[in-house]
Amino acid sequence: MIWITTSLAAPLLLGHALLTKALMSVRYRLKLTTGSTPKAEVDKTVSSLSYQRMAAAQLNEAEYAPILMGVCLYLASKGVAAPYASTLAVVGQVWYFWLRSFVGHAHEGGIDPPVYAPGAACRYIAMGMMAFKLYELA
């Protein structure tokens, strides 16, 4: 297994955040905000299952990315590699976003149990491990 260090996790998390935001912009925002799209089409897009899934996934990704990236940068600046936590953070972000966006949950036409849940669990575990590393530095 190839583990990701904190110094590599930070740019990977940033790159993934950029990718998810660019995808949302290219796929939806340009269409919804240019003013040239008829209101009926905008309403149809905003109420579509694909938009709702991706918007929810991107919002969730945007909540976690700064925390994970900030802690990775801080730990890297202190010379702490934290390979297990860093790997879980990156894997969790990628897993959660893509499966939440394209598979979803049973209440929105996806499957149950939600296949993106392990990605969320990876992020929680990563944050706990990183918190412990921060505590060790104190």
Provide mean pLDDT across the span 40-49.
84
Give the start-to-end residue ranges of the domains of the chain. 6-137
CA 16 to each of CA 67, 91, 130: distance values in angstroms, whole numbers, following the listed order: 14, 11, 20
Provide mean pLDDT across the span 34-47.
81
Tokens 């921060």, residue located: 134
CA 48 to each of CA 28, 30, 42, 51: distance values in angstroms, whole numbers, following the listed order: 11, 16, 10, 5
Would you say the pTM of this structure is higher than 0.85? Answer: yes
pLDDT-above-90 percentage for the chain: 67
What is the topology classification, in CATH, of domain 6-137? Four Helix Bundle (Hemerythrin (Met), subunit A) (1.20.120)
Residues 99-132 have pLDDT tens digits of 999 888 777 777 788 899 999 999 999 999 999 9
> Are 113 and 42 contacting, i.e. CB atoms less than 8 angstroms apart?
no
| More confident: 110 or 7 | 7
